[in-house]
Amino acid sequence: MPSAPEIVTRAAQPYAAIRTRMTMAELPGLSPRLGEVFAWLGGHGLAPAGPPFFKYNVIDMMRELEVEAGVPVATAADGDDRVVSGVLPAGRYATLTHVGHPSELMAATKALLDWAAGQGLTWDMTPGEGGDRWGCRLEISLTDPSLEPDMSKWVTQLAFRLAD
């Protein structure tokens, strides 16, 4: 069951990530990339500065998504041919915290999108032929799977940036 949506202000946050294009059916294969990012950070002497996330850059549910498996860092780091560096933009975000299996996140996402529509909020998103390009749309993993193996107890925060 998700929490009540709310609007929060987030500061800019540097991060490292692996960016990829995949279909909705391939999305479960994104999780192992977080391990690659953590290993890359360790190999470069960088510590995580927050929980890992999935960042949805472009969404075309019928065809393809551009998504990143990322980890916040304290200061920006140069990426390489596999890992990109970026900054999650500062701004106002509509958020919702979901406790439950990741398979329930589509319903939680719909709840957040519907709530925002009812509030008259506008997303930092631009529609296009290749899909909707989001300024910042995050699924933040607040549960460490190595400490809580029961996926029905996982806590995920959705944070979608609002237009200025």
Per-residue pLDDT tens over the stretch 37-50? 999 999 999 999 99
In three-state secondary structure terms, 41 is: helix
Cα 61 vs. chain centroid, distance in angstroms? 16
CATH 3.10.290.10 fits 6-161, yes or no: no
Q: In degrees rounded to 5, what are phi and psi of residue 55?
A: -115, 120
Pull the structure tokens for residue 39.
Answer: 């290993």
Pull the structure tokens for residue 144.
Answer: 């460490």
Contact 48, 13 (CB under 8 A): no
In three-state secondary structure terms, 154 is: coil
Whole-number Å distance between alpha carbons of 125 and 3: 24
Residue 29: band (very low, low, confident or very high) from pLDDT cuts 50, 70, 90: confident
For the entire predicted model, the pTM comes to 0.94
Q: Mean of the pLDDT values across residues 116-128?
A: 96
Is 70 exceeded by the pLDDT of residue 1? no
Of 99, 117, 118, nearest in space to 158 by CA: 99
Is 60 exceeded by the pLDDT of residue 66? yes
Residue ranges of the domains in the chain? 6-161
Q: What is the mean pLDDT of the chain?
A: 94
Is 90 exceeded by the pLDDT of residue 158? yes
Per-residue model confidence (pLDDT) at position 112 = 96
If one compares 97 and 25, the residue with the highest pLDDT of the two is: 97
In three-state secondary structure terms, 24 is: helix
Task: Give the DSSP letter string of 59-102.
Answer: E-TTS-EEEEEEEEBSS-----SS-EEEEEPPEEEEEEEEES-G
Q: Mean of the pLDDT values across residues 130-157?
A: 95
Is 70 exceeded by the pLDDT of residue 122? yes
Per-residue model confidence (pLDDT) at position 2 = 59
Cα 95 vs. chain centroid, distance in angstroms? 11
Whole-number Å distance between alpha carbons of 101 and 152: 4
Bridge partner list, 137: 160
